[in-house]
Structure 1
Amino acid sequence: MNNFLTDNPAIYERQFPDPEHVAARWVDAVVTAHGGGGSVLDLGCGTGRDLGHLATLGYQATGLDSSPAMLAHARANYPGEYVQGDLRSFDLGRAFDVITCLDSALLYCHANDDLTACLRSCRAHLRPGGLLIAEMRNGAFFLAGTPGNAELLDGVRTRTVTAGGVDHTSHTRLHLDHAAQLLRRTRTWESPGAEPLVQESAWRLLFPQELRAFCDFAGFDVLALFDSPGPRSDDPFRPGADPTAVSTALTGDRLHLVARARS
């Protein structure tokens, strides 16, 4: 088993529910506010829940993910096209109006070369003027010691999700690796009749101006950087709200990017 949640997509959706499709509706609102678009590529599409809802809103929807289990779940449950690939080096042979990278998927590119390769692949798959929309953890919040980050870094967070009548309990601890500029996660799963499963993962932490520089180097003009509202921010997006009425204080734990591909 590579990862308990990615190997069990139905449990993933129970662990992180989004019954009102806030993430997808936020994407649609941002796209509309910045000129619209008909085709979307969702990088790290996971279970396909967000992309599937965008398809119901009329987008020509394609999702890319590295997990065979996630892709199988997406194909079985949601409209859209789903392909297997690596964020750092994908080639679909066509261009899109919009590329999305939600829930910190971009931050799985830990090294500078990996992040540069991902953004260059994004630029190569966008039509001139196309939009890159990304949502991620805010490196400034964690690395600069922003007040409030201690509640995410101190202690262990315990959650239980029930699937098929079976309780699965996770114990999650986050800690900073300052030298590598990573937010590391240790998560232990406990399920009846099974040995505890310990899994390690990490996200690259980017300062806002650092993200601007990476985007500029890859051929993007940054239109907006903001901390809220967003699908998972402290001040969450509410369907129907104006997506351009944003907070640019960048003190929240989430960072949202809207960038346009240069001609």
Structure 2
Amino acid sequence: MPSPAAPGPRNLLTDRPELYEARFPDPGRLAARWTEDVLRRHGAGPRVLDLGCGTGRDAAHLHAAGRTVTGADVSEAMLAYARAHHPGPRHVHADLRGFDLGQGEFDAVTCLDSALLYCHTNEQLDAFLASCRRALSPGGLLVAEMRNGAYFLGRTDLLEAPKVAGFAWGGTTYRSTTTLTVDRTAQLLRRTRRWTADDGSAPVEQHSAWRLVFPQELRHLLASHGFDVLELHDGPGPRTDPPWSEDGPPPGRATDADRLHLVARHPGPTTP
């Protein structure tokens, strides 16, 4: 969020989704293709809830693949943009840190691009998993893609220097300087991003954070909510190097690199 002295949007990219898509173009819909591949490999049914759907690109791709998709996000600006620019799915307002969209209404819940890690506390992670279990039908899948907390054990390459990036949209050039720091006490990866633009607008400084979740910690959390882990690996995936492809290698078993990919199944009630 901007500091009190920096007037402007609450979050430059979230409040202006057209800028988000300009900054993070995905013409090949790589994340959605990876997700569809996971759903097919594990035999998921057609009803999908895309949590943290953002601008709606991935949800629309899954809809075009023949699935019945609900996109959910906490940002009304993102939801309005998704309805206007990526129609097909149903779009609803929901906070992934605790939501109720019905009992057993979905065959799969997807949560991409580290959205799960906006659950900063143990209570929020528990609420997320309890909400997902309630939303899933027996045998339903939870599919997530996120940063890997284990990557930051002894590594500082992403923390050593600010990252500078820029893009142009609508005749204006935007530049960002991003700094990452690890808050070990809160187990958070904190991000400070300062935006400038050549249109004369005031700079905007934003602060956000992701929970650093470790693979074995994640396994324990999932087991405590009754999920069976089918896949947990660091690649290949939509944001790995090299990225996932339809004809590439199968999922690995290591959990060492900077992304983490999860597939878990809700087994349903046990029978005596």
Same fold (TM over 0.5): yes
2:175 is aligned to: 169
Tell me, what secondary structure is at the counterpart of 1:117? helix
Matched, 1:250 2:255: yes
Matched, 1:32 2:40: yes
Partners of 1:247 and 1:150 in 2: how far apart? Answer: 24
Matched, 1:217 2:224: yes
1:83 is aligned to: 92
2:11 is aligned to: 3
Structure 2: which 5+ runs fail to align? 1-8
Partners of 1:161 and 1:65 in 2: how far apart? Answer: 25
Identity percentage of aligned residues: 54
Deviation for aligned residue 1:90: 1.1
Partners of 1:22 and 1:240 in 2: how far apart? Answer: 13
Matched, 1:52 2:60: yes
Counterpart of 2:102 in structure 1: which amino acid?
G
Give yes or no for contact 2:50–2:109 (8 Å, CA) kept in 1: yes
Give yes or no for contact 1:234–1:252 (8 Å, CA) kept in 2: no
Counterpart of 1:72 in structure 2: which amino acid?
A
User: Which digits, 9 at most, give the CA deviation of each residue in 1:162-193, with x for residues without a partner?
Assistant: 11111111110111111111000000000121
Deviation for aligned residue 1:262: 2.0
Matched, 1:109 2:115: no
TM-score, with structure 1 as normaliser: 0.95
Deviation for aligned residue 1:2: 1.8
Partners of 2:83 and 2:147 in 1: how far apart? Answer: 28
Q: How many residue pairs align between the two structures?
A: 257
Partners of 1:29 and 1:38 in 2: how far apart? Answer: 13
Give yes or no for contact 1:120–1:219 (8 Å, CA) kept in 2: no
Give yes or no for contact 2:44–2:140 (8 Å, CA) kept in 1: no
2:148 is aligned to: 138
User: Which digits, 9 at most, give the CA deviation of each residue in 1:173-229, with x for residues without a partner?
Assistant: 111111111000000000121111000000001110100111111121111100001
Give yes or no for contact 1:96–1:126 (8 Å, CA) kept in 2: yes
Counterpart of 1:134 in structure 2: which amino acid?
A
Deviation for aligned residue 1:137: 0.3
Deviation for aligned residue 1:150: 2.6
1:187 is aligned to: 193
Matched, 1:201 2:211: no
Partners of 2:44 and 2:99 in 1: how far apart? Answer: 24
Residue of 95, 99, 110 corresponding to 1:100: 110
TM-score, with structure 2 as normaliser: 0.92
Give yes or no for contact 2:44–2:141 (8 Å, CA) kept in 1: no
Partners of 1:35 and 1:214 in 2: how far apart? Answer: 24
Partners of 2:246 and 2:58 in 1: how far apart? Answer: 14
Find runs of 4+ consecutive structure 1 residues off by over 2 angstroms. Answer: 239-242
Structure 1: which 5+ runs fail to align? none
Counterpart of 2:62 in structure 1: which amino acid?
L
